[in-house]
Amino acid sequence: MNKIIKYVFYDIIRNKIVLAYTLFLLLLSIGLFNLGGSPDKAILSLLNLVLLTVPLISIVFATTHFYNSYEFMELLVAQPINRKKIFMSEFLGVACSLSGAFILGVGLPVLLFGVSITGLYLVFTGVFITFIFVAMAFLASVITRDKAKGIGIALLLWFYFALIYDGIVLFILYTFADYPLESATLALTALNPIDLGRIIVLLNLDVSALMGYTGALYKSILGSLWGIGLAFALLFLWVIVPFISSSRIFSKRDL
Amino acid sequence: MITIENLRKSYGRLQVLKDINVSFEAGKVVSVIGPNGSGKTTMSKCILGMALPDGGDIRINGESILGQHAYRSQIGYMPQIGKYPENMKIRQVIEMIRDIRKDVKEVDEELVGLYGLQAMYEKRMGSLSGGTKQKVSAALAFMFNPQILILDEPTAGLDPISAEILKCKILKEKKRGKLILITSHIMSEIEEIADEVMCLVDGNVKFHDTIQDIKAQANEDRLSRAIAKVMNEED
A78 phi and psi, to 5 degrees? -80, -10
DSSP state of A192: -
Q: Which residues of A touch B14 (CB under 8 A)?
A: none
Partner residue opposite B50 with nearest CB, options A4, A78, A82: A78
User: In the prediction, which pLDDT does A209 show?
Assistant: 62
Lowest mean pLDDT of A93-97, A139-143, A208-212, B202-206, name the range.
Answer: A208-212
Q: Which residues of A touch B11 (CB under 8 A)?
A: 254
A179: number of Cβ within 10 Å: 9
User: In the prediction, which pLDDT does A132 show?
Assistant: 97
Q: Which residues of A touch B (CB under 8 A)?
A: 3-4, 7, 11, 14, 69-72, 74-83, 252-255
Confidence at A159, pLDDT banded by 50, 70, 90: very high
DSSP state of B108: -
Instruction: Say yes or no for a CB contact (<8 Å) between A254 and B11.
Output: yes
C-alpha B68/C-alpha A76 separation (Å) is 14
Q: In chain A, what are the helix, strand and coil shares in percent, each to the nearest 5?
A: 85, 0, 15
Nearest-Å Rg of the Cα atoms of chain A is 19
Chain mean pLDDT for chain A? 89
> What is the per-residue pLDDT across A160-174, written as a single tens digit (0 to 9) for each?
999 899 899 889 888
Residue B87 pLDDT > 90: no
Chain mean pLDDT for chain B? 90
ipTM value, please give it: 0.85
User: In the prediction, which pLDDT does A115 show?
Assistant: 82
Lowest mean pLDDT of A213-222, A243-252, B55-64, B142-151, name the range.
Answer: A213-222
Q: What angle do CA B141, B144, B146 make, to 5 degrees?
A: 75
Partner residue opposite A81 with nearest CB, options B50, B69, B84: B69
In which region does residue B43 sit, left (phi positive, over 0), alpha (psi from -120 to 50) or beta (all else)?
Answer: alpha
User: In the prediction, which pLDDT does A61 show?
Assistant: 95
Instruction: Say yes or no for a CB contact (<8 Å) between A74 and B83.
Output: yes
Instruction: Say yes or no for a CB contact (<8 Å) between B69 and A4.
Output: no
Q: Which residues of B touch A (CB under 8 A)?
A: 11, 45, 48-52, 69-73, 75, 77, 79, 83-88, 93, 96-97, 99-101
State which residues form the domain around B184.
Answer: 2-234
Q: Of A68, A57, A84, A74, which is closest to residue A11 (Cα–Cα)?
A: A68
> What is the per-residue pLDDT across A71-80, written as a single tens digit (0 to 9) for each?
888 888 889 9
Which run of H or of E encompasses B152?
A: strand B148-152
SS3 of B172-235: the string is: HHHHCCCEEEEECCCHHHHHHHCCEEEEEECCEEEEEEEHHHHHHHHCCCCHHHHHHHHHHHHC
User: In the prediction, which pLDDT does A212 show?
Assistant: 66
Partner residue opposite A71 with nearest CB, options B48, B83, B101: B83
First-to-final CA distance of chain A: 20
Instruction: Say yes or no for a CB contact (<8 Å) between B50 and A253.
Output: no
User: In the prediction, which pLDDT does B106 show?
Assistant: 84
Q: What is the CATH number of the domain that holds B200?
A: 3.40.50.300
Partner residue opposite B50 with nearest CB, options A14, A80, A254: A254
Q: Is the separation of the CB atoms in A25 and A102 below 8 Å? A: yes
Collect all residues with Cβ–Cβ distance below 8 Å to B89 and sequence separation of at least 6. Answer: B121, B122, B123, B124, B125
C-alpha A238/C-alpha B187 separation (Å) is 56
> What is the per-residue pLDDT across A31-50, written as a single tens digit (0 to 9) for each?
999 887 788 888 888 999 99
Q: Give the residue with greater pLDDT, A26 vs A216.
A: A26
Q: What is the mean pLDDT of residues B138-143?
A: 94
Quote the number of domains for chain B: 1
Residue B75 pLDDT > 90: yes
User: In the prediction, which pLDDT does A203 show?
Assistant: 79
C-alpha A119/C-alpha A201 separation (Å) is 8
Q: Is the separation of the CB atoms in A161 and A194 below 8 Å? A: yes
Q: In chain B, what are the helix, strand and coil shares in percent, each to the nearest 5?
A: 40, 25, 35
Residue B174 pLDDT > 70: yes
Q: What is the mean pLDDT of residues A86-114?
A: 93
Tell how strand B148-152 and strand B179-183 pair up.
Answer: parallel
C-alpha B30/C-alpha B3 separation (Å) is 13
Three-state secondary structure call for residue B3: strand
C-alpha distances out from residue B12 to A45, B16, B81, Å: 50, 10, 23
